[in-house]
Structure 1
Amino acid sequence: MQFGPHETEARDAALATLCERIRAVSTAPLNEPAQLLLEALLAKHPGAAALFYGSGASVARADDPASIIFDFYIIGESYDALYSSGAMKLANKLVPPNVFYFETPSPFGTLRAKYAVLSLDHFEKLVSEETFHSYFWARFAQPCRIHGGSTAMAARLETALAIAIATFCKRAAGLFDGPFTARELWLAGLGVSYKAELRAEDESRAAKLIESYGDWAASVTVPALTYAGIDLDIEGAVIRPKQTPPQTARAWRLRGAQGAVLSALRLLKGTQTFKGGIDYIAWKIQRHSGIDLEITDWERRHPMLGAPGAALRYYRLRAQTNRNA
């Protein structure tokens, strides 16, 4: 798409506004448990940057830090810098991202995290309009903190996050035939992105997230749509596009179909790449049921082979617990 001088100036100003908003989120201090996990992860991946994003950040403020899983993304300069294994590089490129389990001791108890891994170039592509499915750009349209990495990497990540917001807002705007508010756009956009990932969240989940983000939706929606090249009339809180946004409900239905395939592929891949996953599952079971599976070293070394035995042990222990109740 070609832009005239005035449109280019407006888009540059909108991008600057978005980056300023992203920077403000990043500079806010993390709570101590999240900071401890962040430092441990960056020590594990020297030279990389970490993203602490979305619902993980909002949930972490309210709960006992030893009772939740924190979510991070580790962004490296390249897959060569992140992995020595060719198979891991290939898996990350073909079905991104690779996801890992991480835990570290702390004064708060054992802190746990899931962290995903991407190269910087790949991340920039995945959050842009080059990527049809919403998995990445809907996730990173939400408030996200940038930590670590070089100054140049942080600048590229700021721009990538701004593009994610613009992509999300543009494609969510295509769900409306007429005017909308920022809140309505984000409610609709998050709702369809959950469905596209086959996630079970109901409508109240998106509303709670938007509320927890404060003025995020109200402050980024207009500059995001402007950067996306959509001319707007603004009347108070009402946003009225001057032209129909190009994305439609049909595109979101296609994302749902694509999401079913991607979810299955990620689940299958996760059995190989989610190192420590069997300990994570055992911890979740103990947290919710009080049953300690006592995972063996052999099961940790061979999680696919060990999982059936651990499952049988769980059902046996649960039946015993129910008999003694």
Structure 2
Amino acid sequence: MDAALSKDPAQKRALEVLRARIRAVSAPPLSEAAQILVDALGEKYPGGAIVFYGSGASVSKTDDPANVIFDFYVIGETYETLYSSPALRLANRLLPPNVFYFETPSSFGTLRAKVAVLTLAHFEKLAGEKTFHSYFWGRFAQPCRIHGADEAMTARLETALAEAIAMFCRQSAGLMSGAFTPRALWLAGLAASYKAELRAEDETRAGKLLDSYGDWAETVTAPALTLAGLSNSVADGKITLDAPPPSSAFAWRARAVQGAFLSVARLLKGTQTFKGGIDYIAWKIKRHSGIDIGVTEWERRHPLLGAPGAALRYYRLRAKRKGA
């Protein structure tokens, strides 16, 4: 937030409300499966914080954990402490984040996760108003759990997450008119953020996520708008802004254009950093279709070159199954 705005007493109170809500999300014990992954990641990245977010933090409560891909961010102090590879450090700075496939054995079977890596300072910048695209603040506006961080890092992460919520709500408010419910604002914002990343989510996805988040939207939206500099009042479950912001529809369209390039660039980069990713894709295909495409050692060593062959094999096996 702007330094002048941060001195506003109402915004300071709103920030503390949001930080308290974030702490409440992190307080309950993790599921056994998630804790196994957090512990394993803590061993791999000593001294870093583990931020648990996304559908794995909500839907996985009822699903078989061996059929869930969990989402984590590892937050460290410097890229030098996170990586020994200069190439990985450079890639993380130029096109964040680096994303890796991670798996660990457990009594549930193999547990799988996507693990993204950032430094704390980079995370603070990307999750706030200094970043135009919603890739980061759109994610971290949703409930997140912080694990393994010391007190100072926890405080900075809580503030960064609060600012992500504020940025998301401010940009989503520009899509609303008149009084609106928190749920309506979040549905509009999530739908816009999906389009900005070219994510093929069906129309029910955002609603299901909000349902799994409980009262998250209802408890964070008003203070987040206050933190974003949008004074508001709440009556009968609806929020009215004292001074409605300009429409953000054009900004969201621009994010969709930008997102098309970023999505392709991250996909291409991911073929180099998402080690084991082709095995994850094969696992996911088998899980959803029952088709085992198999993965060769050559494809594992050269995922970018091997992907077309694996895809062709899948289509042939699918056609054979349909013919049978």
Question: In the superposition, relative to structure 1, how do residues 214 and 255 fare at CA in structure 2: closer, same or farther (>3 Å)?
Answer: same
**Within 1, Cα distance between the matches of 2:56 and 2:247?**
29
Cα RMSD over matched residues? Answer: 1.9
Partner of 1:85: 85
Equivalences for residues 44-63 of structure 1 within 5 A: 44-63=44-63
Partner of 2:237: 237
Which range moved further: 82-91 or 285-294? 285-294
1:295 partner SS: coil
Partner of 2:256: 256
5+ residue gaps, structure 1: none
Equivalences for residues 264-283 of structure 1 within 5 A: 264-283=264-283
Equivalences for residues 1-325 of structure 1 within 5 A: 8-246=8-246, 248-322=248-322, 325=324
1:292 partner SS: coil
**Within 1, Cα distance between the matches of 2:180 and 2:220?**
14
**Within 2, Cα distance between the matches of 1:153 and 1:67?**
32
Describe the superposition over 1:32-85 as per-residue Cα deviations: whole angstroms up to 9, x where unpaired.
111111111111111111111132211111211111211111111111111111
**Within 2, Cα distance between the matches of 1:191 and 1:295?**
35
Question: In the superposition, relative to structure 1, how do residues 285 and 202 fare at CA in structure 2: closer, same or farther (>3 Å)?
Answer: closer
Which range moved further: 216-225 or 245-254? 245-254
Question: In the superposition, relative to structure 1, how do residues 109 and 125 fare at CA in structure 2: closer, same or farther (>3 Å)?
Answer: same
1:282 partner SS: helix
The CA deviation at 1:227 is: 1.0
Describe the superposition over 1:14-48 as per-residue Cα deviations: whole angstroms up to 9, x where unpaired.
11100000000001111111111111111111111
**Within 2, Cα distance between the matches of 1:71 and 1:298?**
27
Describe the superposition over 1:116-156 as per-residue Cα deviations: whole angstroms up to 9, x where unpaired.
11111111001110001111101100000001122211111
Question: In the superposition, relative to structure 1, how do residues 66 and 162 fare at CA in structure 2: closer, same or farther (>3 Å)?
Answer: same
* Matched letter for residue 177 of structure 1: S
2:204 partner SS: helix
* Matched letter for residue 41 of structure 1: L
* Matched letter for residue 81 of structure 2: A
Runs (4+) of structure 1 exceeding 6 A deviation are none
**Within 2, Cα distance between the matches of 1:205 and 1:290?**
24
The CA deviation at 1:2 is: 7.3
**Within 1, Cα distance between the matches of 2:238 and 2:283?**
47
**Within 2, Cα distance between the matches of 1:200 and 1:290?**
22
Question: In the superposition, relative to structure 1, how do residues 8 and 301 fare at CA in structure 2: closer, same or farther (>3 Å)?
Answer: same
Describe the superposition over 1:192-236 as per-residue Cα deviations: whole angstroms up to 9, x where unpaired.
111111111133211111111111111011111111111113223
Question: In the superposition, relative to structure 1, how do residues 77 and 246 fare at CA in structure 2: closer, same or farther (>3 Å)?
Answer: farther
Contact 2:128 2:163 (C-alpha < 8 Å) held by counterparts: yes
1:203 partner SS: coil
**Within 2, Cα distance between the matches of 1:211 and 1:315?**
36
The CA deviation at 1:173 is: 0.7
* Matched letter for residue 93 of structure 1: R
**Within 1, Cα distance between the matches of 2:256 and 2:305?**
32
**Within 2, Cα distance between the matches of 1:206 and 1:4?**
31
Question: In the superposition, relative to structure 1, how do residues 311 and 244 fare at CA in structure 2: closer, same or farther (>3 Å)?
Answer: closer
Describe the superposition over 1:257-316 as per-residue Cα deviations: whole angstroms up to 9, x where unpaired.
111111111111111111111111111122223333332333322222333443444445
Which range moved further: 197-206 or 24-33? 197-206
**Within 2, Cα distance between the matches of 1:211 and 1:217?**
10
Question: In the superposition, relative to structure 1, how do residues 214 and 92 fare at CA in structure 2: closer, same or farther (>3 Å)?
Answer: same
1:180 partner SS: coil
1:143 partner SS: coil
1:100 partner SS: strand
Contact 1:171 1:246 (C-alpha < 8 Å) held by counterparts: no
TM-score, length of structure 2 as denominator length: 0.94
**Within 2, Cα distance between the matches of 1:2 and 1:198?**
34
2:260 partner SS: helix
Contact 1:170 1:247 (C-alpha < 8 Å) held by counterparts: no
Contact 2:59 2:212 (C-alpha < 8 Å) held by counterparts: no
**Within 2, Cα distance between the matches of 1:35 and 1:201?**
28
